Amino acid sequence: MTSADTISSETIDVSVWRGGAEGRYETFAVPLRQNQTILDVVTWIQRNADPTLSYRFACRVGMCGSCAMTVNGRPRWTCRTHVSKVVENGKVELGPLANLPVIKDLAADMTSFFEKWQKADGAFVPSKTRHDPIEEILPNTPARIEASAAIECINCGICFAACDTVRWQDEYLGPAALNRAWTLVNDERDAGKSDRLRAVAAAGGCHACHSHQSCEQHCPQKLNPTASIAGLKRLTMHAYLRGDL
């Protein structure tokens, strides 16, 4: 590290959750650097202060969705969150994502998050085989526009951690899984639409959403799962009134 990398000899106080469900916050003094991200801070602590610190990351550039944590009470992707934007009075508090069990320190157990993707029929069901010609997908059909607006989810779990309804209702599928289902019901190549509508209309499905819009507020990809869920509510209600559900 050269002196140009440092803003000054200043440090910030970083409180980090240690332990599982039972645990406590441990404070580290971390040198302040230019363009430093929260993930940089966590990595500094692990390499220089305590190698037993557990956390999760992979790409470091906002693509993989692995490094989400609770930063000063809000769920954020830590690799794209600059310390300068979130530091409060020289302090930062880091914890694991909310609404998920803690494995250890900053690593949350994502099992229920991904199980709910499956429960929402989040897997693509092909309507053709490899022997069929590749289907032409026009980018400007209404359904494709809806799907494209919601497709860039990176499975980071931030919306799930931010959602009040997830916190209140165990079986609620959550914004990400329902947003995924919305992209698939708008995908003309998909053959699983009626089963999927049934899955998202069951108890704990799209109708449990209160439209608080915390998912939209916190989504690092600037997606709007609330709008996707509203779309599912409309589709399932119309299907119900037609007698299809």
Partner 1 sequence: MWDLRLYVIQRATAMLMVPLILAHLVIIFYATQTGISAEGILSRTAGSLGWAVFYGVFVVLAAVHGAIGVRTVLREWSPLRGGLLDAIMFIFAALLIGLGARAVVAVTMPGGLGT
Using the minimum distance from each CB to partner 1, give the nearer residue, 132 or 170.
Answer: 170
User: Least distance in Å: CB of 166 to partner 1?
Assistant: 11
User: Least distance in Å: CB of 122 to partner 1?
Assistant: 19
The whole-angstrom separation of Cα 98 and Cα 113 is 11
Using the minimum distance from each CB to partner 1, give the nearer residue, 80 or 207.
Answer: 207
CB 190 within 8 A of CB 226: no
Give backbone dihedrals phi and psi of 179, rounded to 5 degrees, phi first.
-60, -40
Q: Is 230 in the site for partner 1 (CB under 8 A)?
A: no
Q: Is 25 in the site for partner 1 (CB under 8 A)?
A: no
User: Least distance in Å: CB of 184 to partner 1?
Assistant: 19
Which of 203, 213, 153, 160 has its CA nearest to residue 181?
A: 153
User: Least distance in Å: CB of 93 to partner 1?
Assistant: 28
How many CA atoms within 13 Å lie on the side-chain side of 98?
17
Q: Is 245 in the site for partner 1 (CB under 8 A)?
A: yes
Sheet containing 91-95: give its strands across: 23-33, 6-19, 91-95, 68-71, 74-77
Among 27, 47, 58, 168, binds partner 1 (CB under 8 A): 168
The contact pattern for partner 1, residues 190-209, with x = CB under 8 A and - = no contact, is: --------x--xxx-x-xx-
CB 152 within 8 A of CB 221: yes
Size of residue set near partner 1 by CB under 8 A: 16
CB 67 within 8 A of CB 57: yes
Residues 6+ away with beta carbon under 8 Å from 103:
20, 54, 96, 109
How many CA atoms within 13 Å lie on the side-chain side of 125?
15
Among 37, 66, 99, 165, binds partner 1 (CB under 8 A): 165
Site residues for partner 1, window 86-115 (CB under 8 A)?
A: none
Using the minimum distance from each CB to partner 1, give the nearer residue, 25 or 168.
Answer: 168
User: Least distance in Å: CB of 240 to partner 1?
Assistant: 5
Q: Name the residues that contact partner 1, by CB under 8 A.
A: 165, 168-169, 198, 201-203, 205, 207-208, 233, 236-237, 240-241, 245
